[in-house]
Structures are given as C-alpha cells and as structure tokens.
Amino acid sequence: MNIDLQACYRRRYDVRKRRFADHIYLIRDGSIFEMDEFSNDVWRLCDGSQTVLHTITVMKDRFPDVDSLRIAGLALYTIEFFVEHRLAAAE
Amino acid sequence: MVGTESLGEVSIASLDPAGLQRFASEKLLELISAEQCSTAWVSGSLVERLGNRGSDVDVFVVVEALSSNLPATHKDHDHWTHVFVIGGTRVDIEFWPAAAIDSLARKLHAVCLDDLDVHTYRYLDYWESEFIHRLYVGLPLIHESAFRALLETFDRRLFSRYLFESGIRRFNDAFDDTAGMLASGQSSCAALRARETVETAIDVLMYGSGITNDKAKFRTLKIRRLVECFADYRGYEETLWRFETGLPADPGERLAYAEEALRFAADLTGFVQDRVHALAWTHIGVETGDREHRPSSLLP
C-alpha cells in the first residue's frame, strides 16, 4: 500500500477506543485491535488535519533516541494498518 | 411532630450552603438529641448549588441501630426516612445504621476494575452510589470529627474510577447501537441514539474530571460549572448544546449528524481515557499543578 506523505488521515466515525488497565484497544463492528502506546500516539494524530509527514515528525520528536528511519517506518506501518483494517481513511 | 410550616420570608431553597447547614442542624436537633447519633450531614442538590425551588433538603444521620424512638414516615429494611415539608421545601431525614454504611464502604473497596471479564456495570445500586456522593458533598451537622472519619472510609479515587468505568460502558452501548443503526440506514434511530452517545461521552468527561454527581438532569449545569472553573471545557459545552439542539429533520442529514456525533464522542472518550491513565486518577485539566484528587462537586 502506498501512503501519501502529504495526505491527512482521519479516524473513521464507527471506531471507538477502549483503554483498560495497561491495554489499549480499537473496536469497530465487533473487531478488536490492540494498540501499544506508539500506535496510540499515531492514532491520536489521525484527526484529519495532520499530514503523514507531520505525524512522522511528531513521532520522531517523541522518541529522539530512536533511529529516525525506524520511527518513520513504524509510523507508516501503523497508518497502513489503520487504513487496511478500515479504522482510518484519507480525507 | 413537625408538619408544614412557614419559614417567614426566607425560602429554604435560596439559602446558601452555610445557611442550609444551620437550618438542617436546628431541625435535626428538634427531632433527636445529639447523643442519639454518631454523626449527621446535610447534602443534596441544594448543598451543591445545583438545585432549585423544587429540590429537597437531604439530611443523613448515622445511628447505632434503627430503634422505635427515631421518627420515621418510611421504614425500609436498611434505613428509615422521616419526611416533612417546611416553607414549601421537602426535607428528608434518613437514619442509617453504622453497620450498613460500613458494609457499603467494604462493598466499594471490593469492586474489581482491572479485569475486563468482571462486569461492574451497576455493581453499586443507584441509592448506594448516590449515598456515597452525598456523603462526599455533605456538610457536617453533628460530631464533625466522626463525619471526617466516615469520609475516609470511602475510597474516593476508587469511587471515581467506578463511575468512570460505568460511564464508559454506557458510552460503549450507545456508540455500538448508533454504529449498527447507521450501517443499517436507520437514520431516525441513529440520530437519537447518537445524541445519547454524546451525552454519555460528556458524562465520562465529568467523571474523569472528578464530579461524582451522576444525575443526568443536572448534566448541563455540571458542564457549566466545569467551564466556570476551567475555560478549556467551553468547547465541550458548546458541542453538547449543538448536538442537543441540532437534530435535523431530513433523513440524509440525520445520518451525517449521527456520524459527526460518533466522531466527537469517540474522540472525547479516547482523550479522557488517555488523560486519566496518564495522570493516574489525579484528574484532568488541573492548571495549578495540584495533583490532589479533585472535590466531588465543584462548588462556586
């Protein structure tokens, strides 16, 4: 899947988040997806106004000690996952 | 016996909390002696300044046991109530045995909130959560040190978490209903249920902000109180009103209304869950850096 770095992705209207103890889930139509704190941060940035490039920049700033390419790859993978599973869509 | 009386020119509902405290203390001591109870407090919506001319005054009295020398117009199995009207305002005096209150504190302490498989929705009966809230916001009438000690027996943070989890479950139900209705094109049902989804999301925000008053009828007053204390809640208040008053007549517009409502509600509950987790239940929006638990009611 090609993710456009200039595109803005937005959480779908029928997805809700459930945080329970140390677990974070996304729930849509009976399907449950567990997130970690990294993907939760990316999820929050999928508000329809942030470009993918901006999301990557924010995530790099949050993890300054981690290799930038690794952060970018993880952020792109996370957004791809959201799109593939119809949790988020391009605006 | 105390019957319907006139309070002269003074309306009880217009008294400030300190005035209510004095009034309730006088009336209580007309009925029983201070030696007959461990402690007592006045509470309810008038004390929280959420009430109105039609609101009751609620007085709670802790006794060693329910005995025939206590006045009572209703006798429930676990507590008795003496009701009278004065100056047009109803006063409920509830007598509670210390053992029943201790049992409630232990029940709250035993609530399991860290296991998804344990269903805690409605774990506390309505009167139980109301009793705890009214203790938190109560003003002592007799034996203040005993009142303070009683407060300490109820874990405030645990109660907030319980209300929050219950609110999240109500939100989940409303959200999933709405999403299903939307998927099936049930526009009118979806729009009305979406409005309830927004309301439950606002309730979650309030529980996460420290408010333990869970009466829906005061929802708009409670969010107003939060806005007065913390300006960053203003957007939530405005959005609540927009959804409350903006139900469209056109079926196509109803679907769009429901979608927008779900987005707002999901974003809000997602944000609040992250915040209360990050702050370990010391509550969101505190601008002073104070990490203490907020009071149960944000009195002006």
Contact indicator for B195, B239 with CB cutoff of 8 Å: no
ipTM: 0.94
Model confidence at B295, in pLDDT bands (50, 70, 90)? very low
What pLDDT is attached to residue B285?
40
What gap in Å lies between CA B257 and CA B247, rounded to an integer?
Answer: 7
Statement to judge: residues B25 and B129 lie in one domain: yes
On whether residue A52 sits in a domain, the answer given is yes
**Whether A18 and B263 lie within 8 Å, measured CB to CB:** no
What pLDDT is attached to residue B107?
97
- Which of A19, A23, A29, A31 to probe the B interface (max B CBs under 10 A)? A19
Statement to judge: residues B21 and B76 lie in one domain: yes
Mean pLDDT score across all residues of chain B: 88
pTM for the full predicted model? 0.90
Q: What share of chain B is helix, strand, coil (3-state, %, to 5)?
A: 55, 10, 35
Residue B182: list chain A partners with CB under 8 A: 13-14
What pLDDT is attached to residue B56?
92
* DSSP structure string for chain A: -PPPTT-EEEE-TT-EEEEETTEEEEEETTEEEEE-HHHHHHHHH-EEEEEHHHHHHHHHHH-TTS-HHHHHHHHHHHHHHHHHTTSEEE-
Statement to judge: residues B229 and B130 lie in one domain: no
On whether residue B287 sits in a domain, the answer given is no
What pLDDT is attached to residue B115?
81
Determine the residue of chain A that is closest to B266 in CA distance.
Answer: A16
Model confidence at B3, in pLDDT bands (50, 70, 90)? very low
Residue A13: list chain B partners with CB under 8 A: 179, 182, 259-260, 262-263, 266
**pLDDT per position as a tens digit, A73-91:** 999 999 999 999 999 999 8
On whether residue A25 sits in a domain, the answer given is yes
What gap in Å lies between CA B99 and CA B106, rounded to an integer?
Answer: 11
On whether residue A3 sits in a domain, the answer given is no
**pLDDT per position as a tens digit, B13-62:** 788 888 999 999 998 999 888 889 999 999 999 998 888 888 999 999 99
- What are B57's two structure tokens? 């005054």
**pLDDT per position as a tens digit, B96-109:** 999 999 999 999 99
On whether residue B289 sits in a domain, the answer given is no
pLDDT at B5 over 70: no
Closest residue to B116, CB basis, from A11, A20, A29: A20
Q: How far is CA B64 from CA B28, B29, B111, B292, in A?
A: 17, 17, 26, 33
Statement to judge: residues B140 and B169 lie in one domain: no
**Whether A14 and B182 lie within 8 Å, measured CB to CB:** yes
Domain of residue B241: give its range.
157-278
On whether residue B35 sits in a domain, the answer given is yes
Domain of residue A28: give its range.
8-90
What gap in Å lies between CA B220 and CA B240, rounded to an integer?
Answer: 9
Higher pLDDT, B9 or B254: B254
CATH of residue B194 = 1.20.120
Statement to judge: residues B86 and B182 lie in one domain: no
On whether residue B149 sits in a domain, the answer given is yes
What gap in Å lies between CA A37 and CA A43, rounded to an integer?
Answer: 10
**pLDDT per position as a tens digit, B176-225:** 999 999 999 999 999 999 999 999 999 999 998 888 999 999 999 999 98
**CA neighbor of A39 nearest in space, from A21, A62, A20:** A62
Statement to judge: residues B121 and B166 lie in one domain: no
Number of domains in chain A: 1
Number of domains in chain B: 2
Judged on CB neighbours under 10 Å (0-12, 13-18, 19+), A11 is buried
Statement to judge: residues B110 and B240 lie in one domain: no
Determine the residue of chain A that is closest to B180 in CA distance.
Answer: A29
- What are B148's two structure tokens? 């303070």
Statement to judge: residues B130 and B141 lie in one domain: yes
On whether residue B122 sits in a domain, the answer given is yes
CATH of residue A58 = 3.90.930.60
